[in-house]
Amino acid sequence: MHILLVILVCLVASFFAGIGTGFVGMSAAVAITPILMGFLGMEQFEATAIALAADILASLTAAIIYGKNKNIDIKNGLIILISVLVFTIGGTIAARFVSPTVMGWGTVITVLIMGLKLLIFPSDTKKNADKQLSKRRKILVSVGFGALIGFVCGFVGAGGGMMLLLTLTVLLGFEMHKAVGTSVFIMTFSASLGSGAHILLNKFTGNPISGDIGNERFFLVLGLCMVFTLIFSFVGSKIANKLSEKMLNLLSGIMLVCIAVTVLFVGMIF
């Protein structure tokens, strides 16, 4: 396969992944995995391994930038963080018995729904501030949805960014910037745990790792996606923190719809 095509595919996949992470805390695996499988013919496991490596760096980069802009709410996000991490292990174990294809399509549909939600019903700072939840309800929502998100993270080895964003904005009343910042902060840990458990279980449960992992093309694509995604995540986070709430909702909605349509197209064609 021509080297220029490989670079172009990695650039496009990383652009969607990095900007998606920087703007709305989207897991990089949502864009990278299907695009690498569709255009480069990679096996699912090797494409996922590459996406996970890019996901961790992209989330960490975005979290640092959002943190510097004081857009991470650790106090109100601590319970959901713990719940996500605990149930990530359960999802990883369940993934050994069920094909991840169904969960993968569910993630893409969630991205599409979130994009349409931001365009049609944008997150409103004033309404979110007025959404007073009891302490008990916040705990129940955080534990319950954190468990669901953690299960998905472990199941597909990704960060669960879109589900986190939906939970933080719609159910817990976070304004958009703090929701994204808190989401990427949580994803830094969930993606790391999900990817580590995902790879270790493949190694120790008798499931052979794809033979393509370790060859020259794998490391080339891995390096390109990690570098490109990190760069685009940095740029996306910088831009997002300077945007107004209204503009961030609009641009994020358009971007998520474009990502979902692109990934769905790739999945149907290939």
pLDDT of residue 211: 47
| Dihedral pair phi/psi, residue 215, rounded to 5° | -85, 175
Pair of tokens at residue 204: 């120790």
Q: How far apart are CA 178 and CA 59, in angstroms?
A: 14
pLDDT of residue 146: 92
In contact, 159 and 29? CB cutoff 8 Å: yes
In contact, 228 and 18? CB cutoff 8 Å: yes
pLDDT of residue 53: 83
pLDDT of residue 123: 65
In contact, 30 and 108? CB cutoff 8 Å: yes
Q: 0.85 cut: is pTM over it? A: no
pLDDT of residue 13: 93
pLDDT of residue 237: 96
What is the C-alpha R_g of the chain? Answer: 17
Dihedral over Cα of 78, 196, 95, 229: its sign: positive
Q: How far apart are CA 16 and CA 108, in angstroms?
A: 13
Pair of tokens at residue 44: 């699912």
- Residue 115, C-beta contacts closer than 8 angstroms, at least 6 positions apart: 252, 253, 254, 255, 256, 257, 258, 259, 260
pLDDT tens track of the chain, all 270 residues?
588 999 999 999 999 999 999 998 888 878 888 888 888 888 777 787 788 788 888 999 999 999 999 999 998 899 999 999 988 888 777 766 665 555 556 667 777 787 787 788 776 655 554 455 678 888 999 999 999 888 877 776 666 778 888 889 888 888 889 999 999 999 888 888 877 776 676 666 555 444 445 578 888 999 999 999 999 999 999 999 999 988 988 888 888 888 888 877 876 766
